[in-house]
Chain A
Amino acid sequence: MAEVVAISHSPRARAWESFKKNKPAYYSLWIVVGLAVVALLADFIAYNKPIVASYRGQVIFPIFRDYGERLLGLRLWEPELRNMKWRQAELDWAIWPVVRYAPEELDLRNVPAVGPFGEQVIASPSERHYLGTDNLGRDLLSGLIHGTRISLTVGLVSVGISALIGIFLGALAGYFGDTSLQVSRATLWLGLLGVFVGLYYGFYIRRYALGEALGESFFSFLGSLLVSFLIAAATATVIWLPSRLLKRTTWGGERVHLWVDIAVSRVIEIMISLPTTLLIFTVAAIAKPSLFLVMAVIGLTSWTGIARFTRGEMLKVRSLDYIQAARALGYPDWRIMFLHALPNSLAPVLVSIAFGIASAILVESGLSFLGIGVPPTTVTWGSLLSAARSATGAWWLAVFPGMAIFSVVTIFNLLGEGIRDAIDPRLQER
């Protein structure tokens, strides 16, 4: 019987086929999906309250109530239930998470550092600390499960930031080069002036307001940041407007080239010569501990790889026929760049993103291993690993958190290699 082989000619489909053949990378992708599920559902896997419980004839969903209070700001708990110790409570029935401890909860009966096979002071076998506790009595497995959330968030957010910056700058540099972007002199100077004045009104004089918002919460910071951006954009636009008139004069109307490529390449060169990890450590050590700050600093310092890849691809793509065709049709540059050229230049960026996530997770766990940058109460893989240094003989604290960091880093590295091999046409001959 002849085997039916679907022959696909689209490079994307070919890359996907080749990626699927690379078993380690393909399985890594599924493990990443699994980890994302663990991160999302961490509270239903490990928490010190049941998912559903019947207490004195009343059916309660404690985890959801906590969500409502934390995320929506509602008041859902009756005062007598708010601080109830659910593990000790006499419940009619309950469905518990697998691990019955919250990550930052201190179990003072099992201090310091009780091992997974050691003798644990527990009320029932289901309350066992499956992987033991650290020297403060925090459940290791619960910490690992919730740490997944932190590690993945750090990886995604920081690489998200660096991808935004890197793709934008790389696309600009690659698409326009040093000669294609021309503006009138009036637009150039008024635009520059507008940017500076916009920064002054949007950010400089609002810096205290922004700082306070950052201290309050992530969302109020985002809102405040948005206001700043709007003010800056509005100011810049107002200042730029007269250039439409000035363009008609001889001085203002002269076309000037913007050296986009040179400018971006210089910035990249400077960024590369900075010791980014040391910079991140320094900033994290000096600023107030905050996970968001750690992510922002990692993101702001690690975009160079992505920018270089995007630039290189854009250089190739911009000379292709279909881009010329789009130009001939009179589409504006921005549209061609972002809608037509960029989507075809993004494949190599995926490689950078995968490796970037691995290294961001590594940097964050290094930081929390040292106890800088991340708030001391936040339980992360790095902070759990560092507990092994103070609790002598606690092998479980040295082995499991490190194993978690190692596996996630390996998985993202495998993923990166898989994507690289899949899209690199030179390797496809074998």
Chain B
Amino acid sequence: MTAYLLRRLLFFIPTLFIITLLSFLISQSAPGDPVEQMLVGKVGGGGEQMAERQATLQAYLEKRRELGLDLPIFYFAIAPLAEPDTLHHIPQVQVQDALRRLVYKFGNWDAVQEAYHAYLRLDSAFYATAGDTTWGEKRTEARALLALLPQEKDYEELKYRLRQLEGLLIPVLRPYYSAYLQAVDALPQKSQTWKVYVPTIHWYGTHNQYHRWLVGLLRGDFGISYQDKRPIAQKLGEAVRWSLVINIISIVLAYVIAIPLGVTSAVHRGTFRDRSISLALFMLYSLPSFWVGTMSIVFLCGGDYLSIFPPGGVQSTEHSAEWPLTERVLDWAYHLILPVIVYTYGSLAFLSRQMRTALLETLQQDYIRTARAKGLPHFLVVWKHAFRNSLIPIITLLASVFPAMISGSVILETIFSIPGMGFLSYGAMVARDYPVIIAVFTIGAILTLVGILVADILYAVVDPRISYTKR
């Protein structure tokens, strides 16, 4: 058995690795520039003065270095020959993306870079004319257009926008403008498309974003939330308590109720009792928990109908740490009754149905017939001989019940406003706070893995018949 558990643990590691890869991949595809998100409200972006702009850029670059976002993304990169491996040094993700698209289209990095530099020269010349009185009202419009140009992903669109800019500029800027225009227009002639079709491999070593993120993860550092700039680990630590409390109560409850129900159903198979239990469980199993949750909030928790239960949350507003413990627990219990019921019934129904099937199967075994034949009382046959063996598949189901509950938390915690992981995740989804979403996914995945591992270990402990050395 030890060998089996070791193997299991060994399998845990590559799976965990794949999960981190997946999380990282998803986080990479999140739109927007993380550095800008972190700087929101901190530096007055887009100022008119040269010095101000310099300061903004400086702050941007500093923050980016601090977050490690100036590093290459992964240990290695496979890229066309045309794509330079210095692209990630350019500030602003959107600009990087637009330039990369141009490189993929024309295959000539030098020409693209030339156009980009011409743009930068036009840009600084533009800001040098801040005090110029010949501008009039056009300046704001020109500035907005100018800021959008390097982020333009489509070449034709870029040319179109560039033409629009022409009429807005004052004569001083004309030479810079025509240099930029020329560089952009020259791209199709200078195209070296073949370079896109030659793959190259760059090796970066451990100095990369994924490695940094992974090492942070192992240390319990999940990064910083966009919303309130707090460490995510801290936010998760506060939230995970409530999720775990509710999930564990629900799982225990589900097992405690499901097992006798399933046994009754199986022992009285085919009778009215079995049929009614089965029907009820089937209905419960198909009832979407978010519907039941919404219904109970609308009809039972204040609102226009009954108000038997509190309308969400985990404690009343006047709840404080100074209350006596019993009172605090009662307050929590009062708030958690409804959520726990809604959390529990689904897995309860699922488990009971499985218990019934498992016991029915066991009751057909020969050794049960033997036990009956030698005159053992019904009670002993069921509970001593059959029950224990049919428990095994139920235990392994923990591996599927637990993850389902974790994912279910996102909806249910939102409905009942329980400040747990799911609610945190939902808030992050609405606010586009990507690091938090990714962190919750990673933690959820790790918890799922642990749940499966625990179920496997329990399985090995409960069932001595199975030899794990050979498979």
Contact surface of A with B, Cβ cutoff 8 Å: 197, 200-201, 204-205, 208, 269-270, 272-279, 281-283, 285-288, 358, 362, 365-366, 369-372, 385-386, 388-389, 392-395, 398-399, 402, 405-406, 409-410, 413
Contact surface of B with A, Cβ cutoff 8 Å: 11, 14-15, 18-19, 22, 26-27, 29-31, 78, 80, 101, 104, 153, 196-197, 199, 282-283, 285-288, 290-291, 294-295, 297-299, 303-305, 403-404, 406-408, 410-411, 414-415, 425-426, 428-430, 434, 437-438, 440-441, 444-445, 448-449, 452
A389 to B30, CA, bound (A): 29
Give the 6 A-B residue pairs with the shortest CB-CB distance, closest first: A393-B304, A402-B291, A277-B407, A285-B429, A410-B286, A278-B407
A398 to B292, CA, bound (A): 9
For the A-B complex with A275-B403, A369-B290 known, give 12 more contacts whose Cβ atoms are closer than 8 Å: A208-B104, A272-B452, A278-B445, A286-B29, A366-B288, A366-B290, A385-B294, A398-B294, A399-B295, A406-B288, A409-B286, A413-B285
B437 touches A282 (CB 8 A): yes
A362 touches B429 (CB 8 A): no
A365 to B408, CA, bound (A): 13
Residues of chain A lying within 8 A (CB to CB) of residue B297: 389
* With known contacts A205-B80, A274-B19, A286-B29, A392–B410 Cβ distance under 8 A: no
Residues of chain B lying within 8 A (CB to CB) of residue A201: 197
Residues of chain B lying within 8 A (CB to CB) of residue A365: 288, 290
A204 to B83, CA, bound (A): 13
A316 to B459, CA, bound (A): 27
Among A205, A278, A281, A282, which residue has its beta carbon within 8 angstroms of that of B197?
A: A205
- A366 to chain B minimum Cβ distance, whole angstroms, is 5
A278 to B448, CA, bound (A): 10
- A312 to chain B minimum Cβ distance, whole angstroms, is 16
A398 touches B295 (CB 8 A): yes
B429 touches A370 (CB 8 A): yes
Residues of chain B lying within 8 A (CB to CB) of residue A285: 428-429, 437
Interface of B is mostly: helix
Question: Could you jot down 17 A-B contacts, CB within 8 Å?
Answer: A208-B104, A273-B449, A275-B441, A277-B403, A278-B406, A279-B441, A279-B445, A281-B429, A285-B429, A358-B286, A366-B288, A369-B290, A393-B304, A406-B287, A406-B291, A410-B283, A413-B285
**CB-CB nearest in chain A for B438:** A282
Residues of chain A lying within 8 A (CB to CB) of residue B294: 385-386, 388-389, 398, 402
B282 touches A405 (CB 8 A): no
**CB-CB nearest in chain B for A429:** B364
- B297 to chain A minimum Cβ distance, whole angstroms, is 7
- A155 to chain B minimum Cβ distance, whole angstroms, is 14
Residues of chain B lying within 8 A (CB to CB) of residue A366: 288, 290, 411
**CB-CB nearest in chain A for B452:** A273
B29 touches A287 (CB 8 A): yes
A285 to B441, CA, bound (A): 11
Residues of chain B lying within 8 A (CB to CB) of residue A410: 282-283, 286
Residues of chain A lying within 8 A (CB to CB) of residue B411: 366, 369-370
B415 touches A406 (CB 8 A): no
A393 to B307, CA, bound (A): 12
A273 touches B295 (CB 8 A): no
Residues of chain A lying within 8 A (CB to CB) of residue B80: 205
A380 to B408, CA, bound (A): 20
A278 touches B441 (CB 8 A): yes
B298 touches A398 (CB 8 A): yes
A205 touches B441 (CB 8 A): no
Residues of chain B lying within 8 A (CB to CB) of residue A399: 295
Q: What is the count of residue pairs linking A and B with beta-carbon distances less than 8 angstroms?
A: 133
B410 touches A270 (CB 8 A): no
A203 to B19, CA, bound (A): 23
- B414 to chain A minimum Cβ distance, whole angstroms, is 6
Among A276, A386, A402, which residue has its beta carbon within 8 angstroms of that of B288?
A: A402
B298 touches A370 (CB 8 A): no
Interface of A is mostly: helix
A65 to B102, CA, bound (A): 41
A402 touches B410 (CB 8 A): no
B448 touches A279 (CB 8 A): no
- B344 to chain A minimum Cβ distance, whole angstroms, is 18
Residues of chain A lying within 8 A (CB to CB) of residue B31: 286, 288
A402 to B101, CA, bound (A): 45
B410 touches A278 (CB 8 A): yes
A370 touches B288 (CB 8 A): no
Residues of chain B lying within 8 A (CB to CB) of residue A406: 286-288, 291
* With known contacts A200-B78, A286-B29, A395-B298, A281–B410 Cβ distance under 8 A: yes
Residues of chain A lying within 8 A (CB to CB) of residue B286: 358, 406, 409-410, 413
Residues of chain B lying within 8 A (CB to CB) of residue A276: 407
**CB-CB nearest in chain A for B426:** A370
A339 to B408, CA, bound (A): 41
**CB-CB nearest in chain B for A430:** B270
**CB-CB nearest in chain A for B402:** A275
Residues of chain B lying within 8 A (CB to CB) of residue A204: 78
* With known contacts A205-B104, A285-B437, A370-B426, A274–B22 Cβ distance under 8 A: yes
- A429 to chain B minimum Cβ distance, whole angstroms, is 10
A200 to B198, CA, bound (A): 10
Residues of chain A lying within 8 A (CB to CB) of residue B438: 282
A270 to B445, CA, bound (A): 11
- A364 to chain B minimum Cβ distance, whole angstroms, is 11
Residues of chain A lying within 8 A (CB to CB) of residue B425: 281
A389 touches B304 (CB 8 A): no
**CB-CB nearest in chain A for B407:** A277
A248 to B415, CA, bound (A): 67
A205 touches B304 (CB 8 A): no
A389 touches B303 (CB 8 A): no
A248 to B305, CA, bound (A): 82
Among B303, B430, B445, which residue has its beta carbon within 8 angstroms of that of A274?
A: B445
A399 to B299, CA, bound (A): 10
Residues of chain B lying within 8 A (CB to CB) of residue A272: 452
**CB-CB nearest in chain A for B14:** A270
**CB-CB nearest in chain B for A389:** B294
- A420 to chain B minimum Cβ distance, whole angstroms, is 11
A285 to B440, CA, bound (A): 12
- A353 to chain B minimum Cβ distance, whole angstroms, is 17
- B24 to chain A minimum Cβ distance, whole angstroms, is 12
A82 to B99, CA, bound (A): 42
- B97 to chain A minimum Cβ distance, whole angstroms, is 9
- A376 to chain B minimum Cβ distance, whole angstroms, is 12
Residues of chain A lying within 8 A (CB to CB) of residue B426: 370
A413 touches B282 (CB 8 A): yes
Residues of chain B lying within 8 A (CB to CB) of residue A288: 31
Among B18, B406, B408, B429, which residue has its beta carbon within 8 angstroms of that of A270?
A: B18
- A320 to chain B minimum Cβ distance, whole angstroms, is 25
Which residue, of B14, B287, B291, B298, has the highest number of chain A Cβ atoms within 10 A? B291
Residues of chain A lying within 8 A (CB to CB) of residue B404: 277
Which residue, of B15, B29, B298, has the highest number of chain A Cβ atoms within 10 A? B298
A413 to B288, CA, bound (A): 12
A162 to B385, CA, bound (A): 40
- B147 to chain A minimum Cβ distance, whole angstroms, is 22
- A337 to chain B minimum Cβ distance, whole angstroms, is 25
B406 touches A275 (CB 8 A): yes
- A412 to chain B minimum Cβ distance, whole angstroms, is 9
Residues of chain A lying within 8 A (CB to CB) of residue B304: 392-393
* With known contacts A205-B80, A393-B304, A274–B448 Cβ distance under 8 A: yes
A372 to B431, CA, bound (A): 11
**CB-CB nearest in chain A for B105:** A208
Among B22, B287, B415, B437, which residue has its beta carbon within 8 angstroms of that of A389?
A: B415
- A113 to chain B minimum Cβ distance, whole angstroms, is 11
B407 touches A286 (CB 8 A): no
- A391 to chain B minimum Cβ distance, whole angstroms, is 9
A279 to B199, CA, bound (A): 32
A285 to B437, CA, bound (A): 8
A392 to B283, CA, bound (A): 27
- A31 to chain B minimum Cβ distance, whole angstroms, is 14
B298 touches A275 (CB 8 A): no
B15 touches A286 (CB 8 A): no
